[in-house]
């Protein structure tokens, strides 16, 4: 792996990471909040909540 290829690959990884972070911060959440980071509701509970809908 020559240095030029390493630089190119590193920049691709950086661009992907930046795009993911931007997308994550701009994404409109159905239930905005902690996004599960704080543990106030487990992911299983959130997944189950998505199943129930008003008939």
Partner 1 sequence: MALPSHISAAPVSAGSRTPVYALVGNPNCGKSTLFNALTGLKQKVGNYPGVTVEKKVGTAYSQHGQPITVIDLPGTYSLAARSPDEAVTRDVLLGRRSDTAQPDRILCIVDATNLERNLYLVHQILDLGRPVILVMNMMDLAAEAGLNVRVARLEKELGIPVIACEAVNGKGLVELRVAMSRSDLPLARHAWDVPAPIAPAVSELAASLVEHDRKLPLIARAEALLLLTDQDSVRVAGSTPLSPRTAEILHGWQQRWAAEGTDWAGTLVNSRYEAIGRIASEVVLRAGTVGPSLSDKIDAVVTHAVWGWLVLGCVMTLLFISIFTLAQAPMDWIGTHTALLADWVKSRMPEGDLRDLITDGAIGGVGSVVTFLPQILILFFFIGLLESTGYMARAAFIMDRLMSRVGLNGKSFIPLLSSYACAIPGIMATRTIEDAKDRLVTILVAPLMSCSARLPVYLLMIAALLPNDRVSLGAKVGIMLLMYALGTVGAFGFAWLFKRTLLKGAPPLMIMELPPYRLPGLKDVALQMLERAGIFLRRAGTVILGISIVLWFLAAYPKAPAGATPTQQLAQSFAGRAGHALEPVIKPLGFDWQIGIGLISSFAAREVFVSTMGVVFNAESSEENTAPLRDALKAARWPDGRVLFTPLVCLSLMVFYVFAMQCMSTIAVVKRETNGWKWPVFQTLYMTGTAWVLSFIVYQTGHALGF
Q: Pseudo-torsion of CA 22, 24, 29, 31, nearest 10°?
A: -130
Residue 9 CB, shortest distance to partner 1, in Å, is 5
Q: Is 55 a residue that touches partner 1 (CB under 8 A)?
A: yes
- Closest to 26 (Cα-Cα) out of 18, 15, 14: 18
Angle at 23 between CA 19 and CA 28, to 5 degrees: 175
Restricted to residues 17-46, the positions that interact with partner 1 (CB under 8 A) are: 17-18, 20-21, 24-25, 32-42, 44-45
Residues that bind partner 1 (CB under 8 A): 1-3, 5-7, 9-11, 13-14, 17-18, 20-21, 24-25, 32-42, 44-45, 48-49, 51-55
């Amino acid at each position: 792996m020559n240095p030029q290829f390493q630089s190119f690959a590193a920049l691709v990884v950086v661009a992907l990471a930046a795009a993911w972070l931007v997308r994550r911060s701009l994404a409109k959440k159905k239930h905005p909040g902690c996004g599960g980071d704080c543990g106030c509701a487990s992911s299983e509970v959130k997944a189950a909540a998505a199943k129930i809908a008003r008939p």
